[in-house]
Every structure is written in C-alpha cells, then in structure tokens.
Amino acid sequence: MDEEKAWVLWPEYFDSNRTRDQGRKVRKELSVPEPSLEMLGKALQRLGLEYKVEEAKSYPGNWYKSQGRVLVDRKLPKSQLLMKVAEQLLKVQRS
C-alpha cells in the first residue's frame, strides 16, 4: 500500500493520555490509554478495511518513541475513519 494513496493513522491520534496539542485527534471519551498497533489492526479488521502496519515509524510530535503507524485504504473520509476506528478501539480494549 502506497503512502500517497492511503490515510496514515498514528496510535497517538487515539491516546487518552495525550492532549489535542500533543496529537490526539478524537474526543477524550472515544480515546483509550496507550493504544498499540495491534489494537489498531484489530479495530481496522472489525471494520473490514485494508491496512498495512509500519512498525519502524515515529509520530513527528513524538519522534523519540517509535510506536509505528498504520496505512489505511482511503474508502472513507479521514474524519469518519477516525471516529469509526476510535469506536472499535473502545470495543477492542474491553475484550
């Protein structure tokens, strides 16, 4: 999957320990503490979306901690994708 043709999702987008200024993109109620790439993968699987995990990448605002990122097929607008993934992450966290 080509980065130019995919949405980039960083775990930081969904981390309840981060502020909006630190990179969180979803409401606090939809965020989870320290989401992993594995959790993001499970959420995307539940949504039936194609994705590719890249482990050796660092979020620019958190460059010293390499948590990786996920490239996701552009089937939805990014704002919708973020909400749907966040909702699934909450379910993945509970299971």
Longest dimension (CA), the chain: 33
Which CATH number is 61's domain given?
3.30.56.30
Contact status, residue 69 vs residue 8, Cβ threshold 8 Å: yes
pTM of the model: 0.91
Task: Return per-residue pLDDT of the chain as tens, 95 residues.
Answer: 777 899 999 999 999 999 999 999 999 999 999 999 999 999 999 999 999 999 989 998 878 788 899 999 999 999 999 999 999 999 998 87
Range of the domain at 56: 3-94
Contact status, residue 89 vs residue 35, Cβ threshold 8 Å: yes
Helix 37-47 crosses helix 78-94 at what angle (to 10 degrees)?
Answer: 110
Q: Number of folded domains in the chain? A: 1
